[in-house]
Structure 1
Amino acid sequence: MPLLTLTSDFGMQDYLVGAVKGRLLQIDPSFNLIDVSHSISPFNYPQAAYICRNTIKQFPSHTFHLLLINLFEKRPEQLLLAWHREQYILCADNGLLTMILEEKPEMIIGLPLDPKAIKNTLYLTQVMGEAVQQLHTGAGLQDIGMPDVPFIEKNHLRPLFGENWMEGQIIFIDHFENIVVNITREQFEEHRKGRRFRIVFKRNEVIDKIAETYADVPEGEKLALFNAAGYLEIAINKGNAAGLFGLQGFTEQAQQHQSRLFYQTVKIHFG
């Protein structure tokens, strides 16, 4: 029974999520479909990469991950099927793949599209589902597509570093309006080198301790911790940090609006 995860930017307001599942089950009723999220913000690559990266690594080997995200940034000429760290990833050729993996995939093939087909969401789902079925029934990667095809690559969003500081971008705001920054515990400790630190955001808000849980501070107080995925998180115990502090997630469009950028970044000073 193949295990397939589904992640999309469709939302839940219309028929698409159900239609995608129906199309996949037409291909093979034994597919085991698992929803990750259908609430990825449109065109928000850093957010999509964060969610997908930290989901994929938790699944059993040989899981198929269907990423139906920003499928039509350009007219689709191929879909991508990657094999990396014992996981299969199927997605559009839009640059998201390398942002998720933070490196090039171990193996990649291009899934050809019928030039006569109407290339809508359900057709692309059909191509992905048929590729999964072929692999599950014994076909090799090179049997179902073109190996080592050229594909679009985008760099993942990296924090900035100086001798006594580091700066990260807000890549996700969760259901509780806690904010997640693209600084990992490993990066923090490596750059900290045992020094004292001050986490600064929104001009004058400062945190100088790392908590283990939200309950480490009184109700209504701000805190910083490293979440289950290992990323820096700023929160308020039983409060809404993003709304209260006016913080927003970093997007590519924000790079062109420097006046807004401060409220999408978090800086850490050492020493």
Structure 2
Amino acid sequence: MALLTLTSDIGMQDYLVGAVKGQLLHIDPEFRIIDISHQISPFNYPQAAYICRNAFSNFPSHTFHIVLVNLFEKKPDQLLLAYHREQYILCADNGLLPMILQEPPELLIGLPSGSSQLRNTLHCCKVFGNAIAAINRGERLTDIGIPDSSYVEKNPLKPLLSESWIEGQIIHIDNFENVVVNITREQFELQRKGRTFSIVFKRDEVIEKISETYADVPEGEKLALFNSAGYLEIAINKGNAAGLFGLQGYLEQAQNTYLQNRLFYQTVKVFFG
């Protein structure tokens, strides 16, 4: 019995998530399907990579993870099936896979998407479902598609580093409007080197200590902590940090003056003393 997860930017406003599950169960009624999230912001690769990477690592070995994020950035001539760290990941060939893995996949298979059929979301899910069913029947991965196929690569969004500071980007805002920054505890401590620090955002908001829980500060006060995934988080005890401070998810294409000015609301900087 195969365990499958679903992650998408589809949302829950129409029929499509239900239809995707129906399509998969039509292929194999024994599939066990678990939702991770269907609320990924459209075209937001850093957020999708953060959510997928930190969810997938907690699943049992040989779980199949179907990622339906920005499926049609380009014409889907092939889809991807990767096996990495005892997990299967199935997604579009749009650059998201290397952002999730942050390293080359151990094994990559290109899944032909077909030339004559209508290549919509349900068709892509059918290709994924048939590949999973084939693996469950004992077929070798190298017989399911094209081994070591070339694929689109996008670089993971990484913090900017200096001897005296580190600047991270806001990659996720959760349901409580806590703000997640792409600085891990490991990166923070490596850059800190035992020095004092000031976490600065929105030009003049400053935090000078790391809390262990939200309750470490009085209600309504701001705090910084490292969340369960090990990433820096800016929060307010029983409040909404993103809304109060006007913080936003990072926009990679900040080319004009207006968008450049918005970077103050999309980045967090740590100064070391």
Give the residue type in structure 1 aligned to 2:271.
H
Q: Indicate whether 1:265 and 2:267 are aligned.
A: yes
Task: For residue 234 of structure 2, give the secondary structure of its aligned residue in structure 1.
Answer: strand
Q: Indicate whether 1:229 and 2:229 are aligned.
A: yes
Task: For residue 73 of structure 2, give the secondary structure of its aligned residue in structure 1.
Answer: coil
Q: When the two structures are superposed, what TM-score results if normalisation uses the length of structure 1? A: 0.99
Q: When the two structures are superposed, what TM-score results if normalisation uses the length of structure 2? A: 0.98
* Counterparts of residues 100-119 of structure 1 (less than 5 Å): 100-119=100-119
Give the residue type in structure 2 aligned to 1:131.
A
Ranges in structure 1 where 5+ consecutive residues have no aligned partner: none
Which position in structure 1 is the counterpart of 2:10? 10
Which position in structure 1 is the counterpart of 2:161? 161
* Counterparts of residues 142-181 of structure 1 (less than 5 Å): 142-181=142-181
* Counterparts of residues 243-262 of structure 1 (less than 5 Å): 243-254=243-254, 257-262=259-264
Over the aligned positions, Cα root-mean-square deviation in angstroms equals 0.8
* Counterparts of residues 1-80 of structure 1 (less than 5 Å): 1-80=1-80
Where do 4+ consecutive residues of structure 1 move more than 6 Å? Answer: none
Deviations 1:127-174 (A, max 9, x none): 000000000110111010000111000000000111111000000000
Question: 1:255 offset after TM fit, Å?
Answer: 5.3
Task: For residue 253 of structure 2, give the secondary structure of its aligned residue in structure 1.
Answer: helix
> How far apart in 2 are the matches of 1:133 and 1:252?
37
> How far apart in 1 are the matches of 2:8 and 2:271?
37
Question: Measured at CA, do residues 80 and 212 of structure 1 come closer, stay the same or move farther in structure 2, by a change above 3 Å?
Answer: same
> How far apart in 2 are the matches of 1:251 and 1:130?
36
Alignment identity in percent? 72
Segment drifting more, 105-114 vs 222-231 = 105-114
User: Are the equivalent residues in 2 in contact too, given 1:45–1:251 (CA < 8 A)?
Assistant: no
> How far apart in 2 are the matches of 1:68 and 1:148?
22
> How far apart in 1 are the matches of 2:118 and 2:264?
43
Deviations 1:184-219 (A, max 9, x none): 000001111111000000011000000000000000
Question: Measured at CA, do residues 211 and 255 of structure 1 come closer, stay the same or move farther in structure 2, by a change above 3 Å?
Answer: farther
Task: For residue 253 of structure 1, give the secondary structure of its aligned residue in structure 2.
Answer: coil
Task: For residue 10 of structure 2, give the secondary structure of its aligned residue in structure 1.
Answer: coil
Give the residue type in structure 1 aligned to 2:65.
H
Q: Indicate whether 1:99 and 2:99 are aligned.
A: yes
Question: 1:251 offset after TM fit, Å?
Answer: 2.4
> How far apart in 1 are the matches of 2:161 and 2:116?
49
Task: For residue 254 of structure 2, give the secondary structure of its aligned residue in structure 1.
Answer: helix
> How far apart in 2 are the matches of 1:254 and 1:267?
18
Question: 1:260 offset after TM fit, Å?
Answer: 1.2
> How far apart in 1 are the matches of 2:161 and 2:39?
32
